[in-house]
Amino acid sequence: MTHRFELDGIAIDAQADRAARCPEGILLHGTEAALDLPFPPVRFYRHGWQSWSLTTWQGSGDRIPRPKPALLLPMQTDPRHVRDDRPNGSWVGAAELPDGRILLLGALGLETHVALDGNRLRGSSEGGPVEWIATVGSETDAFGRYASALLPVLGRGRTDAPPRVWCSWYSLYTAIDERILRRVLDQVTGMPFEVFQVDDGWQAGIGDWEANRKFPAGVAALAAGIRAAGFVPGLWLAPLLAAPSSRLHREHPEWLLRDGKGRPVSAGFNWGEPLHALDCARPEVLAWLAGLMRKVRAWGFGYAKLDFLYAGALPGVHEAGMPREAAYRNALRVMREALGDAYLLACGAPVVPSLGLCDGLRGGPDVESEWDLPRDSLLLANYAAPGARNAVRTTVHRLWLDPLVHVDPDVAFFRSHRCSLDPYQKQMLRDLASVCGFKATSDIPEWLEPGERAELLQFLASRLRAARTGRYTFTVDGRRIDFSPAVPLRRPVPLVGGLVGWLAGRPVVLRCFDRMQRRALARMMIEDFAGI
């Protein structure tokens, strides 16, 4: 049914089962909703499905190539829409009109998608009818109204300010052990961090969340030492994954999410092996997740970084036919309740289904200590891969989420040791952290030169006031900053990229790459921590 409205002086035809005016603009209801654009759009706002998925403004006629390799697609984008080459995105889409105003169509329900189809914004729901918001205005106003409409539906995080975090990942990666972390803990004691977070590398396996042999005293003892040093202990987990090598996978194959043919659904490839997802709609899985989170709290951790959460919302046959994002959100709610008053950072997480249940949400891909890897941008067209530029690009386009959740831009770098970022690139990461108000680093104090250490301390201690002045420009305490250099997508090389993508998608190649990375980390640990 077609309904005609006028918004901000623009006549708009809307297609939906029902339509009515609301404070934000137009409230539509239906399994499908569409807005006919009064003018050819200049750009489309493409919102990625999960934390790492590309989010950007793209030209209305641009076609962004499908990222490679295919084996990693479940880790980087919504598999259900990966073959749609129209400008499209999850839950919300917006068209920039020639006069600079924005026409936005956003869902107030889950399992929804918006695409630009010629001169029409078209929203669709995988399940039944949902409500949609249509609004026109400046970019800030349009996205602000959408966030306001989501608030009573999903809620917001519980804490007023995000903590300042030291995280082990970007210095030590999986090569952490009890002695090294205690050495770093001694070095950061007295520095203005609130959280000392132990990242990947402590666990027995992906699915087996017990301390491995590198932590002979156990992680509860480590948490006690962190708390004695004056910090909130933080812990990384990927609770919705199960690797085939794990005991969980062997003992509970019935817990795995499966496709229509009964095969385990692929959740990507990492740690040298394929990944599978748990079916979050199964009561026994929910009970296991609740028990795991209670165990984390009993160990003494008050900050939980839950990663690779996209696994809970992958397409598959869920128990009792439960919709996939609803199943994920229910599992996140169960974990939230079991964690009690711990701070919950959701990472690799479906964005809108996570709102109201997490305190912080990773806004983009991992940063890494390199700006832009040609392998990913030029050969694989993979803008969800780790890299500082990819992280800045997507996070800046997600700042409209700020009223609903702490937007985590990932860590900032100060060190020159084992870091190829130049001063300008490092400053951009620091500026983004200041804009987000979420400050973290993985830099080990003994790796810092005196000037670098002073910069880190000043960064942590400062409470800067940021104001938005444009799509990519801000002022921070009166200093103008501009993130636009991080935004453009490099044009990939299709022929060479196709070959590299095919090779990169072979499990044997990925296993070899994983072994090479582990050996390089081992050599690094010998060089940097030989005296322990």
Catalytically active residues, by annotation: 307, 366
End-to-end CA distance of the chain: 72
Tokens 């305190």 identify what position? 359
Task: Report the alpha-carbon distance of residue 187 to residue 209 in Å, rounded.
Answer: 27
Task: Report the alpha-carbon distance of residue 274 to residue 292 in Å, rounded.
Answer: 23
Tokens 């700006």 identify what position? 371
430 contacts 155 by C-beta, under 8 angstroms: no
SS3 at position 222 = helix
480 contacts 466 by C-beta, under 8 angstroms: no
**Residue 36's beta-bridge partner residues?**
13, 120
Task: Report the alpha-carbon distance of residue 133 to residue 120 in Å, rounded.
Answer: 15
CA atoms within 13 A on the CB side of 134: 33
Among candidates 58, 5, 55, which has minimal Cα distance to 27? 5
Helix pair 219-228, 178-188: axis angle to 10 deg: 10
Among candidates 367, 246, 238, 242, which has minimal Cα distance to 309? 238
419 contacts 413 by C-beta, under 8 angstroms: yes
Among candidates 286, 305, 406, 409, which has minimal Cα distance to 356? 406
Task: Report the alpha-carbon distance of residue 145 to residue 140 in Å, rounded.
Answer: 9
Tokens 């400053």 identify what position? 427
Q: Checking phi first, is residue 234 left (phi over 0); if not, alpha (psi -120 to 50) or beta?
A: beta
**Residue 341's beta-bridge partner residues?**
none
